Every structure is written in structure tokens, then in C-alpha cells.
Structure 1
Amino acid sequence: MYSQPDQLGQSLDMRVHECIHYAVSQDPKSPANSIEMILNELVTEEGDTQSGDGRESVERAMSTVQRIAVQVEDILDYAFAATETAEIENVDINECVEEALANLKSEIEQK
């Protein structure tokens, strides 16, 4: 199957990285997933009776949880980037600015 010891070593390294990636990714995702489930239950059970401010707070919390999940994925991708070939892609700077402003909205409003 492997013609060179180096190939076997590289294959084992990749498998170890994949196993570590899976193990490490489960724990950081768990709290965000739990919070998201609780917020979904809150919307389902009390969505019609919540005040406008309550609904807005839940929506902001859901958005925050989704950003946390994306950040965890990004951190894991970055941590294991050495095992993959980098791909360059174009990004819309306006979308980046809008996302940054949305992430900082509550902090901006407090000042």
C-alpha cells in the first residue's frame, strides 16, 4: 500500500491530526450548541408572549451563538491549516465591515 516509510508517516500524521481535530472541535462547540437549543426552546414556548425587547434580546443572543460557532470553526481551521493547501479567495470588504459592526453593535451602543 505504501511504497515509502515517509508516505506511511505522513498518512499517520494526517490521521492523528484528523482525530485531534474531531476531539478538540466537540468540546468548544458543545456550549454553543446547548445555548442555541435553549434559545430555540424559549422562542418555541414563549415566542408569541415575548415583548418586542425580549424577542430582540433572544435574536441578538441567537446571532451571538451563531458567531461563536463560526469563530470556533475558524479557530479549528486555522489550527489545522498546516495540513492543508491554502486557497485564496476574494472577499467583499463591505460584508466584512457589516459583520464586524454587527459583532460590535452592543459595545458601540454602550459607548
Structure 2
Amino acid sequence: MLISMPRRRIAAALASAVLGLGLLTGCGDDVSCGLDQCTVTIARETNASVEVLGVEAKFVSADDSTVTLDVAGEQIQVTKGQQAVDVGGLQVSLSSVTQDAVQIQVSR
């Protein structure tokens, strides 16, 4: 029994590492990820998109404080300073809006 106990711990540690790496899949140059949350920067141009946590997010439109995105095939609006929006199993919130880009937080 003493021999199998360390093996279980090693297996559990490996499983956790694989899960963590799986959550990071899809993170690219415009995406900075932690274990279960990503900061995403999307250009303010027609059809700009990025894949994050296995889901595609596309820029649709924006004004000074509200951004419309297509996330996982659903169109949503996120407003700076307001609660995150649930979509496709993710929580999406707006961090900032500039003339050139929008920055959102995406978490599981």
C-alpha cells in the first residue's frame, strides 16, 4: 500500500498539469492566460477575432463603454464596470475600450 500511495499522488499531479495545459490551449499573441482566466485583446476592426479557451470571440462593434462581441456563436454586449456575461460556458467581462482595440477578461 505504501508504494501505491505515491503513484496516486503522481498520477493526480500529472492529471492536474494536463488539465491546466488544456485550459491554456488557444492562447495566442493577443491572449494572455492564467490557469482558468485569460485577458484578450481584440482589434476594433470588422471581423477581428481570437480563439480563447477553445471558443472563438469576434469583434462586432463598440462605443465608449459597451462592446458587442460574437462569442461561441452568440452575440453579447459587455459594458465596462459591469458584471460578466455568461456565454458558452464562459464568463466574459470588458476591461477597456480604446480607439484601436478592446480588452476583455474570459474565465471558466
Question: What TM-score comes out, normalization by structure 1 length?
Answer: 0.32
Whichever of the two has the greater Rg, that structure is 1
Structure with the bigger RCO (C-alpha within 8 Å, sep 6+) is 1
Structure showing the higher strand proportion among its residues: 2
